[in-house]
Amino acid sequence: MRATDLAPRFVQLHQPSPGLSHPALIEGLMQTPAHVSPKYFYDALGSRLFDAITELPEYYPTRTEAAVFAQHGTEMARHVPSDAVLIDLGAGSCAKAARLFPVLQPCAYVPVDISVDYLRDTLAALQQRQPELPMLGLGMDFSSRFDLGPLACDWLADRGFAQQARVVFYPGSSIGNFLPHEALALLCQVHAVCQAGGAGGGLLIGVDRIKPRAALESAYDDALGVTAAFNRNLLRHVNHLIGANFMPAAWQHAAFFNEDESRIEMHLQAIGAQTVRWCGGERRFDDGERVHTENSYKWAPEAFAALLREAGFGDVLHWSDPKGWFSVFWASA
């Protein structure tokens, strides 16, 4: 087989190029307190740093979720339809979905990620290892709106998959990055995507749960400082996008559990007063002033199941690890 026969189709809907308008990014920097969406973590370097975070001993979500799939995967497969189109949100390295291919046996794989170059590279490597599985990469920002779009739908129809069930796979508890009303809006859109396919589709999603503060905070502030580097790399990415002059070394990583909101918060705190300039604007930051870069909400299973039902999903099942630290939900569309 020629190498070109193994090349997956890739559709780039997100344009991360500098010089384009980024009004929401600039608006967030100008607010008090300043904030930047966590989607800006994920340039190519940020994606690799996150992969490193998942290997840290403090970062329990990845290995705990993997253990849930290992223990309960066979039972999950009784509810998740085989021969479905598997749509992987925030796919990153595609490794989590690839481990489930033998269990879920999808007819096609559609990974979605904002880190366009990183996804393109990882998908090409995965297609070489799985040449029999049709793959379509979608380089897109699904944080404000999620649908497959006409190009992806045409690709599915051309291969006879238009009426196949659609299973959206959203692992890693990334849903926790959204405010609750934003999470509901995204889940409603996921529900619509699932319903647009054949019968039996639904959502398979990983959700982090409430647990002791010490375990939560160490997971987001590791001893090696990898999460701190990941957080500060956001500033380098912002510099690239809007021509800003943030100095990452002049900002300190801060992470803590906000018990009232049931969420981990990550911030970057100015080390000394400084003025940051970008194309067409500037902002002075006082010593100790923070830029809010991420929320990671932690859910009780009953509350998240209620959110899924509010989004339109029907039967909701979930599986967990023995300590009850992490849950994987299946919600039928």
- The verdict on 263 and 135 lying in the same domain is no
For the chain, the domain total comes to 2
Q: What is the pLDDT of residues 30-72, one digit of tens each?
A: 999 999 999 999 999 999 999 999 999 999 999 999 999 999 9
Residue 313 lies in a domain: yes
- The verdict on 43 and 123 lying in the same domain is no
Name the token pair of 199.
Answer: 């019968």
- Model confidence at 169: pLDDT above 70: yes
Q: Which residue has the higher pLDDT, 12 or 112?
A: 112
Q: Give me the pLDDT at residue 2, please.
A: 41
Domain that holds residue 145: 59-211+299-332
Q: How many residues does the chain have?
A: 333
Q: How far apart are CA 223 and CA 317, in angstroms?
A: 36
- The verdict on 179 and 319 lying in the same domain is yes
Residue 15 lies in a domain: no
Q: Give me the pLDDT at residue 3, please.
A: 41
> Using CB atoms within 10 A of its CB, is residue 277 exposed (0-12), middle (13-18) or buried (19+)?
middle
Residue 140 lies in a domain: yes
Residue 19 lies in a domain: no
- The verdict on 40 and 65 lying in the same domain is no
- Model confidence at 115: pLDDT above 70: yes
- The verdict on 237 and 191 lying in the same domain is no
Residue 136 lies in a domain: yes
Considering just the CA atoms, what is the radius of gyration of the chain in Å?
20
User: Please, which pLDDT band fits residue 12 given cuts at 50, 70 and 90?
Assistant: confident
Q: What is the pLDDT of residues 297-312, one digit of tens each?
A: 999 999 999 999 999 9
Residue 98 lies in a domain: yes
- The verdict on 156 and 47 lying in the same domain is no
Q: How far apart are CA 196 and CA 87, in angstroms?
A: 13
Q: What is the pLDDT of residues 117-138, one digit of tens each?
A: 899 999 999 999 999 999 999 9
Whichever domain contains 127, its CATH number is 3.40.50.150
Report, as an integer, the average pLDDT of 66-87. Answer: 96
Q: How far apart are CA 80 and CA 204, in angstroms?
A: 8
- The verdict on 318 and 236 lying in the same domain is no
- Model confidence at 1: pLDDT above 60: no
- The verdict on 91 and 221 lying in the same domain is no
Q: What is the pLDDT of residues 201-235, one digit of tens each?
A: 999 999 999 999 999 999 999 999 999 999 999 99
- The verdict on 203 and 277 lying in the same domain is no
Q: Give me the pLDDT at residue 144, please.
A: 84
- The verdict on 197 and 123 lying in the same domain is yes
Contact criterion met (CB below 8 Å) for 284 and 275: yes
Q: Give me the pLDDT at residue 9, please.
A: 87
Residue 89 lies in a domain: yes
- Model confidence at 244: pLDDT above 90: yes
SS3 assignment for the chain: CCHHHHCCEEEECCCCCCCCCCHHHHHHHHCCCEECCHHHHCCHHHHHHHHHHCCCCCCHHHHHHHHHHHHHHHHHHHHCCCCCEEEEECCCCCHHHHHHHHHHCCCEEEEEECCHHHHHHHHHHHHHHCCCCCEEEEECCCCCCCCCHHHHHHHHHHCCCCCCEEEEEECCCHHHHCCHHHHHHHHHHHHHHHHCCEEEEEEEEEEEECCCHHHHHHHCCCCCCHHHHHHHHHHHHHHHHHCCCCCHHHEEEEEEEECCCCEEEEEEEECCCEEEEECCEEEEECCCCEEEEEEEECECHHHHHHHHHHCCCCCEEEEECCCCCEEEEEEEC
Residue 173 lies in a domain: yes
Backbone phi, psi, residue 92, to 5°: 55, -120
Report, as an integer, the average pLDDT of 232-250. Answer: 97
